[in-house]
Amino acid sequence: MVSVNTNGKSDALIQVRGLDKTYRRGGEDIDVLQGLNLDVDKGDFVAFMGPSGSGKTTLLNLLGGLDVPSRGTVSVAGDEITHMSSGKLTDWRARHVGFVFQMFNLVPVLTAYQNIELPLLLTRLSRSQRREHVETALAIVGLPDRASHYPRQLSGGQEQRVAIARAIVSDPTFLLCDEPTGDLDRKSADEVMALIQELVSKHNKTVLMVTHDPLVAARAHVVLHLEKGVLVEASKSRESAAAGGGA
Amino acid sequence: MKFAGIIFANLLRKKVRLLLTLGSFAVALFLFAFLAVVRYAFTGGADLADAHRLVTINRTSIIQPIPLSYRDKILGIPGVRRVTHDNWFGGMDPENQREVYPELIVPDDQWNVFLKDRQGAIAGAATAKRFGWKIGDRIPIKTTIYGGGAWEFNLDGIYHGKRPQDDETQFWFQWDYFEEKVPDRFKGLIGWYTVQLDSPDSAVRVAKTIDQDFLNSPYETKTETESAFAQGWVKQFGNIEFLILVIGSVVFFTLLLVTGNTMAISVRERTGELAILKAIGFKDGSILFLVLAEALTIALFGGILGLGLAELAMPVLSNALSGMLPNLILSKTMLAAGLGFAVFVGACSGVLPGIGAMRLRVVEAFRRI
């Protein structure tokens, strides 16, 4: 269950408490996030919407341990990440977070297989175990026959599916998707969103997604609006999304 | 090596750039090898010198002659075992030459024929090869010195050095034949003595005695160890070692700038990809390792290519320079030093871009792409 008003302790998978992020630009402090509270349970699918500059990507970066808050805490599965050292945070990201980006961000000189294998290179898995994991991820995203293709040989939708396979191959605790359909046509966007929904419904993945597209956001269990650094609205229930809100 | 796939994929990303960078290393290492062998050709004489040998020359310069009559007086000094004498043209003392230079091997049968042949000659293997001579050949040599005209020799033998570095370019012939052919003003004068000692310990004493014995004579002498003589000989050409060091340093500094710039560009082009790697869990050390591994791979392959080409080219160069320089030998030590330099330059060129990549802030990098 997603909650934006919780202030005390909870059993939620992701707990955000009093999160502030302030940037200093040109001698002026800019408050991007202000006192954010958020609880996200395992298996939740949350969409963050809001105008440009509202702090959506900043929030995602903080949740993913890519950035550090000015104040407040982020805890994931009991680990408080806000005070971790850079090295520990990197380890933590490798184990707990799968990233999906708008521009896919695949390494162009590596095949789909090699791109998906990247997070597994940081583990102690043997080559055959890695192969098994990569093939499973490729099968989940529906691209088992594209393993040896380079990104330039794939369509945008296929590239994003490879990126999703890379994000899930190490079985992370949750996925962070930053505008995953922002660079896709409607048909490809629908396919990618169907895949993300499947990850939530079939594989019980927790997904936090930033999007500008209301149709894409409508696929989530909960849509949260960020305006001027504050979570101001929650809409749509898990039940209605589970009922199959299409784009 | 599970990162090998990423490293080689990144290396092959821009094939032309890779080839040019490899080429830079190969050319630099080829030049390094060439400079190293030339340096050794000039300075290696000191390493090859026998501690049992002294060289006595005219105190004014090696160009000025000294009397043959000094030989007996030198032989009378305690500690002197043998004396041989040579001159520029090749005339030498057949009785002692082979014993004084035991590292230059002439088979007994060839040497015995030579001793009995007034016009006989012994050539170094390199010289014989250079001119296509074989034993039994009649060799006419025209000269503008020593009265000019043609001198005719019978090639009775070919000597080989015990060590690859030994000088195989000399041409020896009978001193008596030399005396017979030269004008009167050259008779009884030799170029230099080579003195073989019983023990290297007596070198200083014997050298001092020789020079004192001929002090205030019309032909004062200068005697020094063969090693010191070889070093002094090289100094006549100028500071070759310094010159080679300067050229080598310029080459490597230029290589460092070129490869450093290439690696910096290569890393800058991949800011986004490096940010992704960091985002998905690659630690700073892994990122530094990937960049350094690329630079070192280029350096290693380029270095091997350059040194391999040098190894192939050295016999050709040696042949082309025969007579001007002794054998050009690319030793294992030089090859190892060359590879060491290549790896050092590779590491230096990769370390700054690698640290830059390591320090890359993911959020900043994502903002830029």
A205-219 pLDDT tens trace = 999 999 999 999 999
Residues B205 and B60 in one domain: yes
pLDDT of residue B55: 94
pLDDT of residue B235: 75
Give me the residue spans of the domains in chain A.
42-68+85-242
Residue A133's pLDDT band (boundaries 50, 70, 90)? very high
Q: Is the pLDDT score of A146 beyond 80?
A: yes
Number of alpha carbons in the 13 Å side-chain half-sphere of residue A208: 29
Burial per residue of A10-32, b for 16 or more beta-carbon CB atoms within 10 angstroms, e otherwise = eebbbbbbebbbeeeeeeeeeeb
Indicate the residue of B2, B279, B286 with minimum beta-carbon distance to A66: B279
pLDDT of residue B196: 95
Residues B346 and B203 in one domain: no
**Residue B278 to residue A110, Cβ atoms within 8 A:** no
Give, for all 369 residues of chain B, the pLDDT tens digit. Answer: 789 999 999 999 999 999 999 999 999 999 999 888 888 877 766 666 778 999 999 999 888 999 999 999 999 999 999 999 998 888 899 989 999 999 999 999 999 999 999 999 999 998 998 899 999 999 999 888 887 888 999 999 999 999 877 888 899 999 999 999 888 988 999 999 999 999 999 999 999 999 999 999 999 999 999 888 887 777 777 777 788 889 989 988 999 999 999 999 999 999 999 999 999 999 999 999 999 999 999 999 999 999 999 999 988 887 777 656 666 778 899 999 999 999 999 999 999 999 999 998 888 888 776
pLDDT of residue A52: 85
* Nearest-angstrom CA–CA distance, B203 and B326: 26
Class of domain A42-68+85-242 (CATH, top level): alpha beta
Residues B190 and B66 in one domain: yes
* Nearest-angstrom CA–CA distance, A225 and A240: 18
* Nearest-angstrom CA–CA distance, A134 and A113: 7
Residues B270 and B124 in one domain: no
* Nearest-angstrom CA–CA distance, B50 and B354: 50
C-alpha pair distances (Å), A111 with each of A159, A165, A234, B29, B275? 11, 13, 40, 35, 18
Indicate the residue of B272, B281, B363 with minimum beta-carbon distance to A94: B281
Q: Any CB–CB contact under 8 A between A85 and chain B?
A: no
Residues B332 and B243 in one domain: yes
Q: Any CB–CB contact under 8 A between A107 and chain B?
A: yes
Residues B109 and B230 in one domain: yes
Q: Is the pLDDT score of A236 beyond 60?
A: no
Residues B26 and B132 in one domain: no
Q: Is the pLDDT score of A70 beyond 80?
A: yes
**Residue A66 to residue B281, Cβ atoms within 8 A:** no
pLDDT of residue B46: 67
Query: Least CA distance to A166: which residue of chain B?
Result: B280
Q: Which of B209, B235, B261 is the last residue of a domain?
A: B235
Residue A245's pLDDT band (boundaries 50, 70, 90)? very low
Segment A13-39 shows an average pLDDT of: 89
Residues B117 and B70 in one domain: yes
**Residue B6 to residue A67, Cβ atoms within 8 A:** no
Query: Least CA distance to A57: which residue of chain B?
Result: B363
Residues B296 and B270 in one domain: yes
**Residue B9 to residue A90, Cβ atoms within 8 A:** no
Q: Is the pLDDT score of A242 beyond 60?
A: no
Indicate the residue of A66, A87, A105 with minimum beta-carbon distance to B272: A105
Q: Which of B207, B235, B263 is the last residue of a domain?
A: B235
Segment A126-147 shows an average pLDDT of: 95
Q: Any CB–CB contact under 8 A between A242 and chain B?
A: no
pLDDT of residue B326: 62
**Residue A90 to residue B283, Cβ atoms within 8 A:** yes
Say which residue the tokens 């079939």 belong to: A202
Strand partners, B138: B154
Q: Any CB–CB contact under 8 A between A157 and chain B?
A: no
Residues B207 and B88 in one domain: yes
Residues B257 and B230 in one domain: no
Q: Are A102 and A95 in contact (CB under 8 A)?
A: no
Query: Least CA distance to B275: which residue of chain A?
Result: A105
Residues of the domain holding B64: 47-235
Q: Residues 6 or more apart from A7 whose CB is under 8 A from it?
A: A17, A37
pLDDT of residue A241: 45
Q: Are A168 and A205 in contact (CB under 8 A)?
A: yes
The interface predicted TM-score (ipTM) is 0.88
Say which residue the tokens 């190293």 belong to: B36
pLDDT of residue B322: 62
**Residue B273 to residue A105, Cβ atoms within 8 A:** yes
pLDDT of residue A246: 37
**Residue A119 to residue B280, Cβ atoms within 8 A:** yes
φ, ψ for residue B181, nearest 5 deg: -90, -30
Task: State whether residue A112 is helix, strand or coil.
Answer: helix
Contacts of A69 in chain B (CB under 8 A): none
Task: State whether residue B56 is helix, strand or coil.
Answer: strand
Chain A interface, mutation test: which of B15, B274, B280, B363, most A Cβ atoms within 10 Å? B280
Residues B24 and B73 in one domain: no
Cut 0.95: pTM above it: no
pLDDT of residue A231: 84
Q: Are B349 and B259 in contact (CB under 8 A)?
A: yes
Beta-carbon pairs below 8 A across chains A and B:
64
pLDDT of residue B330: 86
Q: Is the pLDDT score of A243 beyond 70?
A: no
Q: How many domains does chain B have?
A: 2
**Residue A110 to residue B5, Cβ atoms within 8 A:** yes
Q: Is the pLDDT score of A240 beyond 80?
A: no
C-alpha pair distances (Å), B122 with each of B30, B90, B154, B280, B326? 35, 10, 9, 75, 17
Contacts of B10 in chain A (CB under 8 A): 109
Task: State whether residue B355 is helix, strand or coil.
Answer: helix
Say which residue the tokens 């590779």 belong to: B346
